[in-house]
A = this chain, B = another copy of it.
Amino acid sequence: MISKILIANRGEIAVRIIRAAKEMGIKTAVVYSKADKESLAVKLADQAICIGPAPSAESYLFYQNILSAALSSKADAIHPGYGFLAENSHFSDACRAMKIIFIGPKSNAIRRMGDKAMAKELMRNSGVPVIPGSDGIVDSFNSACETVEKTGFPIIIKASAGGGGKGMRIVDEKKELERAFNYAATEAQQAFGDSRVYIEKYIGSPKHIEVQILGDKHGNVVHLFERDCSIQRRHQKLIEEAPSPSIDKDTRKKLGEIAVKAAQSVEYDSAGTVEFLYNVDTNEFFFMEMNTRIQVEHPVSEMITGIDLIKYQIRIANGEELDIKQKHIEQRGHALECRINAENPEKDFHPNPGKITQLRVPGGPGIRIDSGVYSGYTIPPYYDSMVAKLIAWGTNRKEAIDRMKRGLDEFHIEGIKTTIPFHKEVMKHKEFLSGQYTTDFISKYMS
């Protein structure tokens, strides 16, 4: 039985994990860099252990001190949160070697889903629809040409080790192909130390739809329906909602089943997310990738299902069998999440760290705040700029949006610029209100 969790993360997700553990009666130790000694997680955890200086490479990414902190503080499990070491199979292997429970899926699932080209291949073989494209890695311009002959233009070249838009190139015409292929491989090499790329048919204005999964170590897998994460800026999600306003009941059922199948193909045994591209014109959806970790936007699924995902992650890691069956999981109402970042939306979303001199967070019905900041806190400049997640629930999408608007109005932060004004604009935008928006929403309407 897990009795103490070491949290190998920072910010709001560290706080989120402390909350779940506290409610379960599990002790918490949080690691922190010297830049984070005043963080909310440090204040809330039972124990806090400094593991290094501000740079992530020497603290939050530095296995040795993290594992040593777990061993010396007698933690029997590590929760990696998201980012940092969350999808690093070497780290999860190292945990296992030290007899520390890694709160996440087995290393093999991380590895197989981590290689994007391999994962696509695996999905294709499991009968999960994938975007037409190359059979795995495209290692030469010639093989790129062969692929394109099958798919037709436009296509997108992606880094196999990739993420975050790095090493990606969209190609509309044959004559651009060679140059784009070389660029993508070079960029992939620079960003990930791995030049391998693959090719997919490019879908111009898709929706980003993802399905939340819970699998246990006893072969049970359930889904918690989909999230619509199509409001993105440069491949960074900014607003998420559940359910998706453009998925009907039948599609929802089908998507859920396919996501469960995808998870089962790697014997997935934690909380995870299967991401799909959804072509709104043809009503087709295609497997994109699986994230083998808890995600930033998990609260919207929690709000509509009432299920605490972090608690289930911990229970599953502890070897417990899922006590919920698919038929018991019901949606109620609608939920939205706005990521409030310390960025200046008027200046191209430039990060804007600094001291929060006054903070009043919204409250009342249907409002949830997941945040790692407080009045008087100074946001360090070393890490990501997310200050808080504002989550709004309503009996239907309209009420959820009205609540979100009200919450954004109420949110009062002095001392730093945030993306609150941006979110207010989105919440009243006709295209957003229609629910039919796609991933190009921001570049099309908000730039």
Contacts and interface: CB of A to CB of B under 8 A. Distances in A.
A364 B374 contact: no
Given A23-B399, A402-B23, A358 B375 contact: yes
Given A23-B399, A23-B406, A306-B395, A364 B370 contact: yes
Interface in A337-366: 358-361, 363-366
Contact of A306 (B16, B23, B333, B409): B333
> Nearest 8 pairs between A and B by C-beta?
A363-B369, A23-B402, A19-B364, A375-B375, A22-B406, A360-B374, A23-B406, A306-B395
A306 B25 CA distance: 28
A410 B368 contact: no
A299 B365 contact: yes
A364 B16 contact: yes
Contacts of A367: 368
A44 interface: yes
Instruction: Give the secondary structure class of A's interface.
Output: mixed
A244 interface: no
Contact of A410 (B44, B306, B365): B44
Contacts of A369: 363-364
A240 to B, nearest CB: 16
A76 B405 CA distance: 24
Interface in A1-42: 15-16, 19, 22-25, 40
Contacts of A299: 365
A253 interface: no
Tallying the copies of this chain within the complex gives 2
Interface residues of A, number: 40
Nearest to A299: B365
A212 B334 CA distance: 24
Nearest to A362: B19
Nearest to A309: B365
A371 interface: yes
A302 B365 contact: yes
Interface in A402-447: 402-403, 405-406, 409-410
A26 to B, nearest CB: 11
A375 B360 contact: yes
Q: Which of A306, A363, A375 has the most CB of B within 10 A?
A: A363
A308 interface: yes
A376 interface: yes
A22, A364, A374, A376, most chain B CB atoms within 10 A: A364
Given A23-B399, A306-B332, A410-B44, A363 B358 contact: no
A191 interface: no
